[in-house]
Amino acid sequence: MAHRGNWWGYIAHDPEKDRPRVTRKLLGRVFGYARSYWRAVTIGLLIIAIISLIELIPPLLYRELIDNVLPNQEWGRLNLLALGMISIPIVSGLLGVAQRYFNSQVGEGIIYDLRQELYTHLQRMSLRFFTHTKSGDIISRLNNDVVGAQGAIANTIPNLLTNIFTLTSTLAVMLTIEWRLTLLAIAVLPLFVLPARRVGRILRDIRRRSMELNADMSSAISETLSVNGALLVKTFGRGNYEVEHFGETNREVRDIGIRQAMVGRWFFLGLSISGAIGTALIYWVGGRFVLQDVISVGTIVAFAAYLGRLYGPISSLANVPVEFARALVSFERVFEYLDMPVEIADKADAIELDEVQGDIRFEDVSFRYAAPMLEDDASEPSVPNIQYRSSRAQALESLNFHIASGELVALVGPSGAGKTTITYLLPRLYDPTEGRVLLDGHDLRDVTLESLARQIGMVTQETYLLHDTFAANLRYARQDATEAEMEAACRAANIHDFIAGLPDGYSTLVGERGYRLSGGEKQRLAIARVILKDPRILILDEATAHLDSQSEALIQAALEPLFAGRTSFVIAHRLSTILAADKILVMDEGRLVEQGSHAELFALNGLYADLYRTQFRASQSGLEAMLD
């Protein structure tokens, strides 16, 4: 089926290269997450060893009961054996509870560490990553893959060690009881081991495909069942299509789940048959030994009891490559994200911006949007590198301009001219492909991202609000803001009266992405939020696009004092905003074609004059005659 594209679709998978290479480096990295929990791991291993030794006792009790106690009618020893048979499971069970406690400490701790590391790394990724990655894939890696990776350390490895302890101790006792039967029991081991390698590869491939399909399904759910998605589906009448599309992915998830279950079931059936063959041989040969008086009946009963402790661990150990291969897929998918280089990061010697004047220069700035694409590094196929390949033409080309501190700059131009891209370079959502952006003489790449973010306030064209209260959304700008400061900011943005009129006031939930609010109310709340932040540099991207005339007039009045003393960039098609600007930058196809005041640009009779006649004048009828 055709899936909605994401940049993972650019990866060309080679089945041979997709198989995990269990290198020392990879294993060291995997086990590295358990190092912080070495005390719990040590205690858990000690408990595993004690349990393995304790569980060796019951078959010896059976032999004693059959060979000595019953024939000799030893009533006292019979009572002791019965007490021992009751006590051993109790002690073993209590130790198992303790072992489970320490095991869960390690497992859940690793989930926390791995997920926290991944989330922290993703927070540092540039905007480019999020524009080319489906949210469902990110959620899948933070949830499903992290839990799958944790299973390798919290389940597979403890089970491996438990089975090794059990197997070695059981073999040691069996050899002391009857070495010939022990060798016969070992003779069937190839029947357990040989299928494991093949099944491990098959299940690993199935596991990777299953994860990819589940990520697709998560993306479909997040895209179509969010507020935006539901609105899009309903307004275009695409409900039936989306149900069918989801059904296709859902069927693939179902089918691959069935295939995974059946492959595993056939594998375990083979292991069960192998165990039955070994057990039958032991009883057959052991029975002959009993008939020949070579061994006692108690010995063969004890030996049969030990067979379960022998073949059970062997079956589990044969399944370890299968389980570990599946877990490696989860680690690989998590490591793919963790190993992505952070495109925009602080330099080691980055400076902290304290007081900013707001003087901005663009020097020979060019920028090209690019689609990220993963490519395997030949030296380590399981750890991909990220490279960027051009996805469209140059967005900005050789920009040179200077904005003095406190100036109000209007960015105008046709759609796709590069206006928004300029505003993305200022807070370093992207870095220039060529040239540099200076703030008070500092290259933005030389200052810390956090201090730069404190200096810039941005109201984007699409307002994003958290599914939380008005107060929480406002305090996202300043966590320590007081009630009075929030109210003052909302009054300035002409939204206080609306909020105060609600039953719960500032404690009212705004709803998912603010969909309980009108477009104008969301914009005013976003403006109040940036007013509360009190930034030195202000960026408004069509900030009043959704306001009615009355609200816009009030907002414009509120913005005037906000602009005062700040360096401000405004993308707008409103003539009133453009006329108020100290400087107008006219963009076309990524180039700065004109700059100056309204009068200067209009006199040039160039692109700005054309835009004025076709767009700006319509927004303020009759103003042209007054200006002329």
DSSP string, 479-545: TT--HHHHHHHHHHTT-HHHHHTSTTGGGSB--GGGTTS-HHHHHHHHHHHHHHH--SEEEEESTTT
Q: Tokens 């997920």 correspond to what residue?
A: 115
- Could you tell me the CATH number of the domain that includes residue 444? 3.40.50.300
The answer to pTM > 0.85 is: no
Please give the distance of CA 399 from its chain centroid, rounded to a whole number. Answer: 36
Within a domain: 218: yes
Mean pLDDT, the chain, rounded, equals: 78
- Do residues 442 and 316 both lie within one domain? no
Residue 459's beta-bridge partner residues? 540
Output the pLDDT for position 197: 60
Asked whether residue 93 falls in the same domain as residue 195, the answer is yes
**Tens digits of residue pLDDT in 225-239:** 766 667 667 666 777
State phi, psi for 236 to the nearest 5 degrees: -100, 5
pLDDT in tens, 420-473: 899 999 999 889 999 999 999 999 999 998 899 889 988 877 777 877 889 988
Q: Is residue 222, in this structure, part of any structural domain at all? A: yes
64-73, 409-418, 576-585: segment of lowest average pLDDT: 64-73
Same domain, 34 and 111: yes
What interhelical angle do 519-533 and 483-492 show, nearest 10?
A: 130
Q: Helices H, strands E: what count in the chain?
A: 26, 10
Q: Rounded to 10 degrees, what is the CA torsion of 461, 360, 128, 337?
A: -130
Are residues 305 and 438 located together in one domain of the fold? no
333 in the same domain as 254: yes
End position of a domain, from candidates 304, 322, 338: 338
Q: Specify whether 119 is located in the same domain as 197.
A: yes
Q: Round to whole Å and give the CA distance between 414 and 587.
A: 7
Asked if residue 427 and residue 320 are part of one domain, the reply reads no
* Residue at 354 is within a domain: no
Structural domain includes residue 11: no
Contact 546, 517 (CB under 8 A): no
Domain boundary among 294, 320, 338: 338
CA dihedral 179, 183, 189, 191 (to 10 degrees): -140
The residue from 298, 323, 338 where one domain ends is 338
Q: Which residue has the tokens 């149900």?
A: 243
Q: How far apart are CA 133 and CA 138, in angstroms?
A: 8
Are residues 282 and 186 both part of a single domain? yes
Pinpoint the alpha helices (H) of 55-188: 57-64, 70-72, 75-123, 127-131, 135-140, 146-151, 157-177, 179-186
Q: How many CB atoms lie within 10 A of CB 236?
A: 10
The type of residue at 557 is: A
Residues 174 and 58 occupy one common structural domain: yes
Answer yes or no: do 317 and 411 share one domain: no
Q: What is the mean pLDDT of residues 470-495?
A: 88
State the Cα–Cα distance between residues 442 and 46, nearest whole angstrom. 59
pLDDT in tens, 308-323: 777 777 767 766 766 7
Q: What is the pLDDT of residue 235?
A: 60
Q: What's 99's domain CATH number?
A: 1.20.1560.10
Q: Is 112 left (phi over 0), alpha (psi -120 to 50) or beta?
A: alpha
Token pair 């509360």 is at which residue?
Answer: 532
Decide which of 327 and 282 is more confident.
282
- State the residue range of the domain holding 541: 393-462+536-627
CA angle 317, 319, 323 (to 5 degrees): 115
**Closest to 305 (Cα-Cα) out of 161, 177, 160, 168:** 177
Q: Is residue 476 part of a domain?
A: no
Task: Specify the 3-state DSSP secondary structure of 609.
Answer: helix
Token pair listed for 408: 């109000």
Query: Which phi and psi angles does 608 have, rounded to 5°?
Result: -60, -45
Same domain, 326 and 402: no
- Residue 121: inside a domain: yes
One domain, residues 307 and 420: no
What six digits make up the tokens of 588?
């076309």
CA distance 216 to 226: 15
142-189 pLDDT, tens digit per residue, is: 877 887 777 667 677 777 888 888 888 888 888 888 888 888 877 777
Q: Quote the number of domains for the chain.
A: 2
Residue 613 lies in a domain: yes
Pick the most confident of 86-90, 389-393, 443-447, 620-624. Answer: 443-447
What's the pLDDT at 626?
34
Q: For residue 101, is it within any domain? A: yes
